[in-house]
Amino acid sequence: MSIDDWLYEREKAPIEWERVCNNGGQPERWCECPELIINGKRVPCPPHHDCDYVRKRSELVAIADRITSEGVGNKRGIVNGYRWTRRFVAEMEKLAAPLLKNGAEAA
């Protein structure tokens, strides 16, 4: 066994252990959610990932976009972009509040 192979084998076990520990001690879980494709590569589900919640929340984006654009408008510019983003985030929080498991209300 070469020194490179030995070093590789010695480093491989801690990397695998860290991967398991970072996922809450569970083995990696994979799903088909489009949100888990990053830079063209599918990544494993993060801890506490809920595919059903992600799908339902993604369906709300078009509604929040419409409400925000009606309220703020589609004018160009930095200030309007900031205003649009703040309003969009607030609308998404309101629309998604019923999806939360604890039934929290948006502030």
Has residue 71 got a pLDDT over 90? no
- Sequence-distant contacts of 70-74: CB under 8 A, at least 24 apart: none
pLDDT: is 40 or 25 the higher one?
40
Look up tokens 């959610």; give the residue: 33
What per-residue string of b and e applies to 44-74 under the rule 16 or more CB within 10 Å gives b? Answer: ebeeeeeeeebeebeeeeeebeebbeeebee
| Angle at 90 (CA atoms; ends 64, 54), nearest 5 degrees | 60
Residue 103 has pLDDT above 60, yes or no: no
| pLDDT-based confidence at residue 20 (cuts at 50, 70, 90) | low
75-85 per-position pLDDT tens digit = 676 677 888 99
Residue 24 has pLDDT above 60, yes or no: no
